[in-house]
Chains A and B, each alone.
Chain A
């Protein structure tokens, strides 16, 4: 395996890991908030969260590129803060990936949170647990499996990202050249043996991850009694 390929693998894993961690940090409160809304208007927020599911990634990438360009407010603020350009950087990839993989983390969490009975939280409250304590001591243990699912899906989906990366990251080895881009490069230059290596590896990775997920899905099925 070439150095460029190893770089691409390392970059992809770093991108997916950082994205997943950020999504868990920001996606969990968002999913919790959505799961506890009784009114209809959060439908707008839900729709926005779900957008990356149906939008072509290039659409998302296009708008992100415009937003992150050096002459925009975001681009200028970033430059002032860090002294580097945002577009075509690893940071831009992280921003794009977080948005792109958002529904894969938020939706399983939201569904799991909705299954946690409000009644149990009320019981916890009368036993002296404040809301954060209720979340930590009741909600998380009851939805642990969904956290694993959400993190795995977020990670896997980020690994499989292509369109957004191409639009806002370009193809800079060691900075923005992730596996899917490297694969594209190989195919473009008709290096099919190398392409097979990367493509096959991704197929195996996805398959193993999904099998592990579904196995655990079957193993511990927590259900609230009716």
Chain B
């Protein structure tokens, strides 16, 4: 039996109860997304075994019972590595010793080796330093390395970038992406930052007030109107494309999406690579005729599949582009003026599209 089966009923730290009954995938990166106080950390604590709910429930990992009414596997026997928001390096050990701490407690030798981890996370320079002498980003890299060196079967990351400044968190994100590609390790990634989630996750779980509001593949959930994501200011669809020819003269690169060509900022990547493209709903406008002399480069033919009013002034559209979806947030006035209806053939003008760093899209 595959997956991580959870049935939990557990009071959280604030005024909510974590109540979930679900099966999460145990391949790739699963993001648990929700506002603070929605029970994300409580959920991870239950999975790691750091917390045992009093109410009946279960935690089963790939058919193995970690928690049932009768059994409770303690955290040190679960082989679940946990990277905390605050790194939690041992202050009396230097970086090398912190890494050794994990290696010497391995019960199985199927994890990555010391040299490999030091190389991936570029820790060689830091090995002799004390944790107190590290920057927040360096601490987090060491914590990730230490977690991997325990040869885990499941890696839990609890907002590992939340304490980092922007550039450190971007850098750390690149390291994490490298790891998700190199390792065949299921990862649960807790975050309240949808952009981080879009970069890393394959599967998305939306947690609200201790309950799972929705779950599904990242691309699917981001392109739907009936989730909380679509109501957020930064709502954005994510589409998959293939890198095409570059145009160094104008600093642009072609990206093939569903037989259409989009232009994005110049990429260093070789043509043929599959990449994610994040297109914010507020940067997509629609028109009935294809404008011929617009300054906007990316104008794609789409079909309206769903229209949803958001408040009194705005409307969110779900636009089909082949088998993928775009979101567009426009004013209700425009929607009325254009007499938009489901099934309408329109042109979507995309003002900005950010190519995400991830290049390991193998899910559908």
Contact = CB atoms under 8 A, between A and B. Distances in A.
B88 A133 contact: no
Contact of A125 (B76, B90, B102, B107): B76
Given A119-B86, A133-B105, A137-B101, A126 B81 contact: yes
Interface in A121-163: 122-130, 133, 137-138, 141-142
A128 B84 contact: no
A128 B92 contact: no
Contacts of A141: 92-93
Contacts of A120: 88, 90-91
A30 to B, nearest CB: 23
B105 A125 contact: no
Contacts of B86: 119
Interface residues of A, number: 19
A225 interface: yes
Contacts of A224: 91
A222 B92 contact: yes
A142 B93 CA distance: 10
Interface residues of B, number: 28
A38 to B, nearest CB: 14
Q: Is the interface of B mostly helix, strand, loop or mixed?
A: loop
A128 B105 contact: yes
Contacts of A122: 50, 75, 82, 84, 88
B48 interface: yes
Contacts of A137: 101
Interface of A: 119-120, 122-130, 133, 137-138, 141-142, 222, 224-225
B299 interface: no
A169 B108 CA distance: 57
A133 B146 CA distance: 17
A126 B48 contact: yes
A141 B97 CA distance: 13
A123 B76 CA distance: 10
Interface string B73-108: 011111111101010101111000000011001110
B309 interface: no
Interface in B150-167: 150
Contacts of A130: 74, 76
A174 B106 CA distance: 54
Q: Which 9 A-B pairs have the closest CB atoms?
A: A128-B105, A123-B88, A126-B82, A125-B75, A141-B92, A127-B102, A127-B150, A130-B76, A128-B76
